[in-house]
Amino acid sequence: MSRNWILVLDGLADPVSRSRDFTRRALTAWQWLPATTARGRQAAEDALLLVSEVVANARLHGGGPGALVLDCRGERLRIEVTDLNPAPPVPPGSGSRGVAGPGGGPVRPGWPGGYGLLIVDRLALAWGSRPGAAGKCVWAELPCPS
């Protein structure tokens, strides 16, 4: 059974939903789903939410997602999403220019949207980005359920 799954997202309609469905299939193949423990359910829900957030950010701020990679090894699941924007992601409230909320405007406390990276930061063991050939790759890691 492969523990490395790749989905090409370039040009797909509704890449967020397609990525969630793809991730759900991978988690089922890896026997994360159906989860039999609270910890297992939480791990699967966290993986689905992280995939949704990173793909949505690539769609909204990265010029569109290119690919989703799910790499499950040992004790961790690594989620990677490529996009066309070489600029690294910047979480709201970091004080850096370029942080944008819905519609490209500034993030405003109490308003919806613009907080995906805060969710990623809260759920992931670690996350970051690295330059790519035509943009960047944003990655996040989660612990695998026992």
Identify whether the C-beta of residue 78 lies closer than 8 Å to the C-beta of residue 120.
Answer: no
Q: Domain of 53: which CATH number?
A: 3.30.565.10
Tokens of 47: 């993986």
> How many Å apart are CA 28 and CA 16, to the nearest integer?
18
User: What are the pLDDT digits (tens) for 62-76?
Assistant: 999 999 999 999 889
pTM of the predicted model as reported, rounded to 2 decimal places: 0.86
Question: What residue spans of the chain are helical by DSSP H?
Answer: 15-29, 38-61, 116-123
Domain count, the chain: 1
- What residue numbers bound the domain in which 139 lies? 4-143
- What pLDDT sits at residue 109? 58
- Say whether pLDDT at 2 is over 70: no
**Helix, strand, coil content of the chain in percent (nearest 5):** 35, 25, 40
Q: What percent of the chain has pLDDT over 90?
A: 65
> How many Å apart are CA 67 and CA 58, to the nearest integer?
10
Residues constituting the chain? 146
- What pLDDT sits at residue 102? 46
User: What are the pLDDT digits (tens) for 31-68?
Assistant: 999 888 888 999 999 999 999 999 999 999 999 999 99
